[in-house]
Amino acid sequence: MIRKEMIAMLLAGGQGSRLGILTADMAKPAVSYGGKYRIIDFPLSNCINSGVDTVGVLTQYQPLRLNTHIGIGIPWDLDRNIGGVSILPPYEKSDNAEWYTGTANAIYQNLKFIEHYNPEYVLILGGDHIYKMDYEILLDFHKSNKADITLATYPVAWEDASRFGLVITDENKKVIDFEEKPAKPRSNLASMGIYIFTWKVLKDALIKLKDQPGCDFGMHVIPYCHNNGASVYAFEYNGYWKDVGTLSAYWESNMELIDLVPDFNLYEEFWKIYTKSDVSTAQYLGEHAVLSRSIVGEGTEIYGSVYNSVIGPEVVIEEGAVVSDSIVMQGTHIGKNSKINKAIIAERAVVGSNCELGVGEEVENKEHPNIYCNGLVTLGEKTVIPDGVHIGKNTVISGITTHEDYTNNWLAGGESLRKAGEDA
């Protein structure tokens, strides 16, 4: 008989549109992070480190990169005889065929998957945060309170509290009320989007709410349960927790890794973060290489200078090139004497020689001022930039660009340049 105390359902279907060009061809959880990881590695590693060995990954938006990354779960030891990792895309049923319309709807559509494992508890996770968390402690908290639902919460600064969905509790951490982005916050405990449900309670609620359009945990399921007398508790998490939902937050969070002793330490033996990596060779630093305050992935070759940057695996930075305050992802090539300032360069891009990225004054991006901001230059996957081009701040470029795409080899700040890539 199959029985699992707790299984995890990881919601990985969202686009993450505020990451702009980075999520053009992949879901947000598949975006690279910290020189060798992808965002989804954090919840997956947390699962296996917490002893949760059965994980359903719900995918919908651009799942291909996630599929190849996860495979059968070998890097996380999630290749199991019973359980392990399963990828759960939406599927056609005998009477209807629909997309996942909301977070809870996605779980509802996979009710049979959960039933198969006969769990007592179900852990609901998102795929857009960087953190290390022991879900077993969360489960112990849930059990000791005899709770029906436990929400993981994170204390935020009071002045920021009005930007979050907040949880108001009594002295026993029992939830009394919820507030969504209130003007005058009564609490500073923000919901992290991580929940433990006693399976019976969740199952009943999902079935009751099955016709609710866009059924969502935060908006429908938890209020429904709460209003119907379920006991809901809030667990306060005090470790490192970082939302990487916007390009600026994503850039900042990467940059925190290069601090002398970062808040989020990847160098501890305990609570390792696992990932699938295609390369494991050592990195080579050339005769004239300069590196300071940076982390560098495997198999990378550096002949130029790198300051305050996160460099992924298999990157080549040629002689005379200077990369500062930037994130350079796997397989990217930076040509000779090019200067890269405060840029996010996605995988397998090619920057020619004598280019300069991030020059001039900050000008607001014309198309998406809320996405491409803080002076960042963002290059999509497999972007090609020809030799000698200068690019202003708050810009975005994707596809194979040639000299014809630039006026006098110049792309002004705030501009967006999108061309078809080689796959188009």
Partner 1 sequence: MRAIGIVLAGGNASRMKELTNKRAVAAMPLAGSYRAVDFALSSLANSKVQKVAVLTQYNSRSLNEHMSSSKWWDFGRKQGGLYVFTPTITVDNSFWYRGTADSIYQNIDFLKNSHEPYVVITSGDIIYKLDFNKVLEKHIENKADITVVCKRLGKCADTSRYGIITTDPDGRITSFDEKPNGAEDEPLVSAGIYVVRRRQLIEMLERANEEERYDLVRDIIIRFKDVKKIYAFEHTEYWRNIASVMDYYDANMDFLKPDIRDYFFRQYPDVYSKVDDLPPAKYNAGADVRNSLIASGTIVNGRVENSIIFKQVYIGNNCTIRNSIVLNGVHIGDNSYIENCIIESRDTIMPNSNYSGEPGKPRIVLERSDRYSI
* Nearest CA-CA partner of 371 in 414, 325, 421, 340: 414
Amino acid at the residue 174: K
Nearer to partner 1, 149 or 295 (CB): 295
User: Does residue 68 touch partner 1 according to CB under 8 A?
Assistant: no
Nearer to partner 1, 287 or 404 (CB): 287
Cβ at position 307, least distance to partner 1 in Å: 9
Q: Which of 1, 183, 282, 424 binds partner 1 (CB under 8 A)?
A: 282
User: Does residue 321 touch partner 1 according to CB under 8 A?
Assistant: no
User: Does residue 268 touch partner 1 according to CB under 8 A?
Assistant: yes
Nearer to partner 1, 171 or 269 (CB): 269
> How far apart are alpha carbons 296 and 311 in whole angstroms?
5
Amino acid at the residue 61: Y
Amino acid at the residue 339: K
Q: Are 73 and 102 in contact (CB under 8 A)?
A: no
Tokens 């005899």 correspond to 146
Say which DSSP state 121 is in. E
Nearer to partner 1, 154 or 264 (CB): 264
> How far apart are alpha carbons 282 and 305 in whole angstroms?
18
Site string for partner 1, 14-53 (x = CB under 8 A): --------------------xxx-----------------
Other beta carbons within 10 Å of 253: 20
Q: Which of 211, 287, 404, 422 binds partner 1 (CB under 8 A)?
A: 287
> How far apart are alpha carbons 65 and 347 in whole angstroms?
12
Q: Which of 208, 286, 369, 370 binds partner 1 (CB under 8 A)?
A: 286
Residues paired with residue 38 on neighbouring β-strands, in sequence order: 32
Is residue 423 classed exposed, middle or buried when 0-12, 13-18 and 19+ CB atoms within 10 A define those classes? Answer: exposed
Site string for partner 1, 215-254 (x = CB under 8 A): ----------------------------------------
* Residues from 288 through 307 that contact partner 1 (CB under 8 A): 288-299, 301, 306
Question: What are the residues binding partner 1 (CB under 8 A)?
Answer: 34-36, 74-75, 258, 260, 266-270, 272-275, 277, 279-299, 301, 306, 310-311
